[in-house]
Amino acid sequence: SSAAATPAERTLVLVKPDGVARGLTGEVLRRVEAKGYRIVALEMRTADDALLAEHYAEHQGKPFFAPLVEFMRSGPVVAAVVEGGRVIEGFRSLAGTTEPTGAAPGTIRGDLGRDWGTSVVQNLVHGSDSPESAAREIGLWFPAL
Ligand code: ABT
Ligand code: MG
């Protein structure tokens, strides 16, 4: 038998402006580390329009694009590159579904997210949704990596 080890994967995690403002950065990173993933890069910064237009390129032209960018640049975010086996799928699982109201308890969004009272979904965290997105987003946020 030749069971090969699962190769490590990398994903981009963002603690969005609502998460940073509410003091949940540590809680998010704690859950990431508790799961066994490794933080390999970490930076706090306020994103500008150019970066966000690239980051959310798939949503350009949609009605929520402008409010989404406005929300994402409303305050600092904490960006992290997180590494581990099947971490892309694994972090999406830790985060929970996009809308916090319906997200499962036990997930970041389900336990901590509040998606009422604002026009754009403020759901605390971002995680890349595929290997292609992860490579693209890591290149965008951490060009030196
Ligand atoms: P992200 O991790 O931010 O990409 O969220 P997720 O992948 O779970 O959801 P997608 B579909 O990628 O949404 C991106 C952001 O746009 C917001 N949004 C999305 C709306 O406000 N209204 C909508 O109708 C849709 C489809 C939710 C996400 N984030 N924020 N903040
Ligand atoms: Mg997405």
Band of pLDDT at residue 1, cut at 50, 70 and 90: low
Q: Hey, what amino acid is at 114? A: R
Helix H or strand E segment including 32: helix 25-34
Closest residue CA from atom 29 of ligand 1: 121
pLDDT at 2: 63
| Tens-place pLDDT, residues 71-95 | 999 999 999 999 999 999 999 999 9
Please give the ipTM for the structure prediction.
0.91
pLDDT at 3: 74
Rounded CA-CA distance 35/16 in Å is 20
| C-alpha 59 – ligand 1 centre gap (Å) | 9
Probe ligand 1: pick from 59, 121, 125, 133, max atoms within 8 Å of CB? Answer: 121
| Tens-place pLDDT, residues 116-134 | 988 899 999 999 999 999 9
CATH 3.30.70.141 given to domain 8-141: yes
